[in-house]
Amino acid sequence: MNTKHLGINSKLIHAGHTEDATGAVNVPIYQTSTFAFRNAAHGAALFAAKGDGYIYTRIGNPTIHALEESVAELEHSCGGIATSSGMGAICTVYLALLEGGAHMVSTASVYGPSRGLMEKDFSRFGVQSTYVDTTDLTQVKKALRPNTRLVYVETPSNPTMQVTDIKQVAAIAHAHGCLVVVDNTFASPYLQQPLDLGADVVLHSVTKFINGHADVVGGIIVAKDMDIYKRLRKAMVNSGCNMDPHQAFLVLRGLKTLGIRIERAQQSAMEIAAWLEKQPEVSAVHYIGLESHPQHELAKQQMSGFGSMISFELTGGMKAGRLLMDHVRVATLAVSLGGVETLVEHPASMTHASMSAQARRDAGFTDGLVRYSVGIEDAEDLIADLRQALDAVSVESLGRTLESAISVPPEPTLV
């Protein structure tokens, strides 16, 4: 069905789905590694990219193709490339668009391993990188070098919820002859379409909002033009970062409810963020829907909603952050985000522990930061859960302080 003229919720249901001979309403799982050629000429034509059909699942598969077509349409792109994971998508992008001696400028507050892969692995092949606060356009301009090939932006960023102006960054990067890549995981295509704002490539960890049910790990990349798309697809096929057909089937199923999941979760997120702002144990709340967020106005312009990711800082620092993890009951203590269940984690000791303490501070977050991915439970239950957890943290912190004040120091060792 041609869905180009339809609204986003209709696209979520129908885009990418072409009816097969059976009339199956859902795209079947083509669980096969290889596809038989009709004859030698057909096989040769497929290898010469001249015929219709499939060769081998690492190169392409109908179930995976349906997901790629669907996300490509949602992101207003010429084509999608599904990958084994979000990190598979990031690795493919670096591999396809950088080479030894090239330089990349990136958001400092990116998902930890996106930075780790560049600084610890791609650097071994002579790729250079500079991490800056991309919400500050002067820092982006200053970081550009003659050999800069890529400006990589994560917006909103993980876990600081900083919003980068995609249009402005694209104008700066393009004037310098660089490509712009946006990690759109936190917004999802339901809330933000970076290609329309000037980006050249968009990637997602589909593990998060796109799938939305915490049962699949996957990634996807979409490109603005065919030339870039072909470079990315070649890198994915050659590196073997492909998605599996069963993974693609589950993601296609999750994708259908993206709109209603996000609408509900972001309504609760707004309530929870406003409540958190009033709690004495909380020194800062980073939610782009709050007027107090420094890029609230920009988020309003470049996104169609504020999403459901919140991070907040506890006055009690690292100790309070870790204690809170042990006391939440409705929210699940787990990494990942963007699912129907509310997930809570402590970036300094978990997702962003691979960054140095200095890099975390430079990226703009403290060791008392808590990341909270709002799911679709009842908002009042989540608020009550946070309140009892904050109370328990206060009681336990006080207990530990008293304990250390009255504890008898150990006997000095006699030598």
Active site residues: 58, 111, 183, 208
Buried b (16+ CB within 10 A) or exposed e, 93-111: bbbbbbeeebbbbbbbbbb
Buried b (16+ CB within 10 A) or exposed e, 45-81: bbeeeeeeebeebbbbbbbbbbbbbbbbbbbebbbbb
Residue 41: CB minimum distance to ligand LCS, A? 40
Distance set, CA 125 to CA 33, 86, 88, 102, 250 (Å): 32, 22, 18, 10, 36
As given in the structure block, the two tokens for residue 308 are 């459901």
H-only helix segments in 303-378: 317-325, 357-362
Stretch that binds ligand LCS, among 24-32, 64-72, 83-91, 97-105 (CB under 6 A): 83-91
CA dist., res. 174 & res. 139, Å (int):
16
Nearer to ligand LCS, 144 or 206 (CB): 206
Q: Which residue is nearest to ligand LCS (CB)?
A: 86
As given in the structure block, the two tokens for residue 239 are 């590196």
Nearer to ligand LCS, 3 or 109 (CB): 109
Nearer to ligand LCS, 144 or 303 (CB): 303
Which of 30, 94, 111, 229 is close enough to bind ligand LCS by CB under 6 A? 111
Residue 355: CB minimum distance to ligand LCS, A? 12
Residue 110: CB minimum distance to ligand LCS, A? 7
Closest CA to 181 of 288, 116, 90, 315: 90
- Pick out residues in 335-364 that bind ligand LCS (CB under 6 A): 335-337, 351
Q: Are 27 and 82 in contact (CB under 8 A)?
A: no
Nearer to ligand LCS, 75 or 154 (CB): 154
- Pick out residues in 265-324 that bind ligand LCS (CB under 6 A): none
Nearer to ligand LCS, 3 or 155 (CB): 155
Return phi, psi of residue 194, to 5°: -60, -25
Nearer to ligand LCS, 224 or 352 (CB): 352
CA dist., res. 392 & res. 337, Å (int):
24
Amino acid at 131: Y
Given CA atoms 62, 63, 67, 68 in this order, what sign does their dihedral have? negative
CA dist., res. 335 & res. 352, Å (int):
11
Residue 152: CB minimum distance to ligand LCS, A? 11
Which of 3, 61, 70, 85 is close enough to bind ligand LCS by CB under 6 A? 85
- Pick out residues in 161-220 that bind ligand LCS (CB under 6 A): 183, 185-186, 205, 207, 217, 219
Query: Per CB under 6 A, does 155 bind ligand LCS?
Result: no
Distance set, CA 117 to CA 88, 93, 124, 208, 336 (Å): 11, 12, 10, 20, 18
The mark string for 215-254 relative to ligand LCS (x by CB under 6 A, - otherwise) is: --x-x-----------------------------------
The mark string for 33-72 relative to ligand LCS (x by CB under 6 A, - otherwise) is: ----------------------------------------
Nearer to ligand LCS, 156 or 368 (CB): 156
Nearer to ligand LCS, 246 or 387 (CB): 246
Residue 398: CB minimum distance to ligand LCS, A? 31
H-only helix segments in 156-209: 166-175, 188-191
Residue 325: CB minimum distance to ligand LCS, A? 14
Residue 155: CB minimum distance to ligand LCS, A? 10
Assign residue 101 a region: left if phi > 0, alpha if psi is -120 to 50, beta otherwise?
left
Q: What is the DSSP string of 56-92?
A: BTTT--HHHHHHHHHHHHHTT-SEEEEESSHHHHHHH
CB atoms within 10 A of CB 411: 6
Residue 351: CB minimum distance to ligand LCS, A? 4
Which residues here bind ligand LCS, judged by CB under 6 A? 85-87, 111, 114, 154, 158, 183, 185-186, 205, 207, 217, 219, 335-337, 351
